[in-house]
Amino acid sequence: MPRYGSMADVRAFMPNPPEIQTFKIEPWKLKGAQIINLLAEVNGEKSDALLPKAMHPSIPSYAMFNVTVYPDSPAGKFGIGEVRVASRAGVRPRGFVLRSFVDNEAARRELANRWGYPVAPGDVYMRTFHDRVVARVSSQGRVVLELEMLDRDYISGGDIQYLSSMHLARNKADGKLILAQIDPEWTFSRAERGRPRINTFDASAFGAGDNLVVENIISVSYTICDVTLGNIRYYCDPDKPAFQGTTQVAA
């Protein structure tokens, strides 16, 4: 039998979800993004409770720790740090976003209104050294996530495969809670891998409580790329299997 997420109540998990204003938007083309993306196996018995019932947990269970700095956007420069739980919506691999800390108020507003990012104010830092990359996310003066990639080594951008995201949000048109599928496009100009390290991770700051327990760090990569955030094409009912509750947005 397939496994499903066991989140007891999506409304309790996110009492004030972002509200997507419209599905008809102008894409954002964001050039020169710097991304550090770390994967780690987590305790599946606990992390299943972080996934809505529409989604299938990955086997083995793992989470994605991601920090991105965008040097320019329609809202100005901004950084974003988030944690996602790996899963599938139907047959497609996806990452369910728990929380997105963003260091630019205008960007927070636009990301929430356009794509349903579960934004929160925070400070985002990234710096590259000759032998490592360090990324840090802080909230209310406290570090909630710090990642490192040590022993940097070049790889091909073709070796990088990022997952699309699912955002729990409200559709303004009808007031219903939905899982919005966000499908960025990435064009890589530089890609590296290295030895992964998590120096700090405060699960509660990302809304995970004690349900996201890191058991084994898998890998980490660092890239420089152009990112396109386009229109939402699909969304689904968070309380129904994705095969039953998915809606295609009219073109």
pLDDT at 71 over 90: yes
In this prediction, residue 2 carries a pLDDT of 77
Quick check: is 77 in a domain? yes
pLDDT at 91 over 80: yes
Can the peptide bond before residue 60 be classed as cis, meaning omega within 30 degrees of 0? yes
CATH number reported for the structural domain that contains residue 216 in this entry: 2.40.400.10
In this prediction, residue 245 carries a pLDDT of 87
In this prediction, residue 87 carries a pLDDT of 96
pTM of the predicted model, to two decimals? 0.96
Query: DSSP characters for the chain?
Result: -------S-HHHH-SS--EE--S--PPEEEEEEEEEEEEEEE-HHHHGGGS-TTSEEPSS-EEEEEEEEES--TT-SEEEEEEEEEEEETTEEEEEEEEEEES-HHHHHHHHHHH---EEE-EEEEEE-SSEEEEEEEETTEEEEEEEEEEEEE--GGG--PPEEEEEEEETTT--EEEEEE--EEEEEEEEEEEEEEEEE-GGGGT-TTS--EEEEEEEEEEEEEEEE----EEE-TTS-HHHHEEEPP-
In this prediction, residue 46 carries a pLDDT of 97
pLDDT at 88 over 80: yes
- For residues 141-153, give the mean pLDDT: 98
Quick check: is 128 in a domain? yes
Check if the beta carbon of residue 178 is closer than 8 Å to that of residue 245. no
Q: Which residue's structure tokens are 């987590």?
A: 42
Count of domains in the chain?
1
Tens-place pLDDT, residues 9-50: 999 999 999 999 999 999 999 999 999 999 999 999 999 999
Q: What is the CA radius of gyration of the chain?
A: 17
Quick check: is 5 in a domain? no
- For residues 192-209, give the mean pLDDT: 98
In this prediction, residue 40 carries a pLDDT of 98
Quick check: is 72 in a domain? yes
% of residues, the chain, pLDDT over 70: 99
Quick check: is 1 in a domain? no
Q: How many CA atoms lie within 13 A of 69 on its CB side?
A: 17
In this prediction, residue 202 carries a pLDDT of 98
Quick check: is 4 in a domain? no
**Could you list the residue range(s) of the whole structural domain that residue 126 is in?**
10-248
Quick check: is 164 in a domain? yes
- Per-residue b/e over 139-168, b at no fewer than 16 CB within 10 Å? beeebbbbbbbeebeebeeeebebbebbbb
In this prediction, residue 104 carries a pLDDT of 98
Quick check: is 2 in a domain? no
In this prediction, residue 1 carries a pLDDT of 65
Tell me the C-alpha distance between 85 and 3, whole Å: 14
Q: How far is CA 10 from the centre of its chain?
A: 17
In this prediction, residue 251 carries a pLDDT of 66
In this prediction, residue 90 carries a pLDDT of 85
